[in-house]
Amino acid sequence: MKSRAAVAFGPGQPLQIVEVDVAPPKKGEVLIKISHTGVCHTDAFTLSGDDPEGVFPAILGHEGAGVVVEVGEGVTSVKPGDHVIPLYTAECGECVFCKSGKSNLCIAVRETQGRGVMPDGTTRFSYNGQPIYHYMGCSTFSEYTVVAEVSLAKINPEANHEHVCLLGCGVTTGIGAVHNTAKVQEGDSVAVFGLGGIGLAVVQAARQAKAGRIIVVDMNPDKFALAKEFGATDFLNPKDYDKPIQQVIVEMTGWGVDHSFECIGNVNVMRAALESAHRGWGQSVIIGVAGAGQEISTRPFQLVTGRKWLGSAFGGVKGRTQLPGMVEDAMKGKIQLEPFVTHTMGLDQINEAFDLMHEGKSIRTVIHY
Ligand code: NAD
Ligand code: AHE
Ligand code: ZN
């Protein structure tokens, strides 16, 4: 079948809106009609060419919601008409990671996903007879996409896709990092570095957890208003200080914060976040994704004196079992999604969504088909 898609033909190039061919779903696969998709910084990261797993030409996008159109052989957990969120972190329930109960990092389709192909090693997308690669197992920048059955969360059909698509990545990541990774407790102090969709979701979840002080850090002060609405208590722009921001945070808290979160993808800020953590027990969660070849560093003394460095992927959330419940929470207002949607537009304007993100003017742009 034909599908309108925004194709990344090469790194650093604007996406091109073309009509691609989509082959039918094979065994264990599902054809989805995407209705809405958010644009996450990770899409921009991969488009920039900095992603070691970036392959081109590809159809990016991984923060979507849609409806099942057709299922391949052997698919039993979803049927045409079901409402779904594609998952870049699958959940097969059978691999060593799923069975461990310790991690959401299912490996069922991860290796082929990282190469931009379906589990059988081939791609369902083509353009002028040439293959187009998949992205993060989702490719939500195509109106029709094929994903593995294990990469689909079935959700309440009453949910508003313009909002719950954000649970496909950004908001779930931030909320999960607070509750599953850091396990923030009532009264804990928190510092959040970077106030995009991820950082603001961390702020929202920190308030849910009844955190005490919630210190937010961003170079763009325009982000502070929404952070305040979500519960932030202290607002720091590193440009306003002539000393390292970790020193500012340690001085204003005594010994540092109980939990810090890096939501940018900058290895220097990752260090600052770690060094903002409380001596003896403070922990710092890396959420941001850094480019090929970049490494983190700090004085080992920072860890010797009790700080912990952690990381979080998709907020530690198991997509098929836990995401439907998060959709319900959003429908009940326990998770707020609407404030994240600062812009909506059609697929034809998708390059503007990337521009708005780079200019710091959006939190999330949601594309509708
Ligand atoms: P975004 O671009 O919307 O937000 C980033 C924010 O960081 C912006 O507000 C920007 O002003 C701020 N910022 C940039 N440099 C800064 C600096 N030096 N100091 C302080 N603030 C600074 O991005 P996003 O969509 O919220 O994504 C954030 C990061 O999280 C990205 O690296 C993305 O790839 C990553 N991510 C990771 C996961 C995961 O599962 N680990 C999931 C989603 C996104
Ligand atoms: N491809 C990159 C890694 C990218 C990365 O870390 N992705 C996050 C999700 S970002 C969503 O916006 C993640 O979940 N990672 C775990 C995984 O299995 O991909 C690289 O460095 O190769
Ligand atoms: Zn994302």
Instruction: Give the pLDDT confidence of 240-252 residue by residue, as tens digits.
Output: 999 999 999 999 9
**Band (16; pLDDT cuts 50, 70, 90):** very high
Q: What per-residue string of b and e applies to 77-110 under the rule 16 or more CB within 10 Å gives b? A: ebeeebbbbbbbbbbbeebebbeeeebbbbebbe
Q: Please tell me the predicted confidence (pLDDT) of residue 132.
A: 98
> Can 321 be counted among the known catalytic residues?
no
What is the pLDDT at residue 192? 99
8 A C-beta contact, residue 34 and residue 140 = yes
Cα 188 to ligand 1 centroid, rounded to whole Å: 23
Nearest Cα residue to atom 30 of ligand 1: 288
Architecture of the domain defined by 182-311? 3-Layer(aba) Sandwich (3.40)
Mean pLDDT of 140-144: 98
Which ligand is nearest the CA of 50, by number?
2
Nearest to 138 by CA among 127, 149, 150, 151: 151
The pLDDT of residue 93 is: 98
Q: How far is the CA of 255 from the centre of ligand 2 (A)?
A: 32
Residue-by-residue DSSP string for 183-219: ---TT--EEEE--SHHHHHHHHHHHHTT-S-EEEE-S
pLDDT recorded at residue 308: 98
Give the position, in ligand 1's atom list, of the atom nearest the Cα of 44. 34
Mean of the pLDDT values across residues 122-146? 98
Domain residue spans of the chain: 2-170+316-368, 182-311
Atom of ligand 1 nearest to the CA of 286: 41
Identify the pLDDT of residue 285. 99
**Proximal ligand: closest to the CA of 62:** 3
What is the pLDDT averaged over residues 215-243?
98
pLDDT of res. 124: 98
Q: Beta strands 125-127 and 16-22: pairing type?
A: antiparallel
Q: Who lines ligand 2 at CB under 6 A? A: 40, 42, 51-53, 89, 105, 110, 169, 289, 313-314
pTM reported for the whole predicted model = 0.98
What CATH number is given for 2-170+316-368 in this structure? 3.90.180.10
Same-fold call for 2-170+316-368 versus 182-311: no
Residue 238 near ligand 1, beta carbon < 6 Å: yes
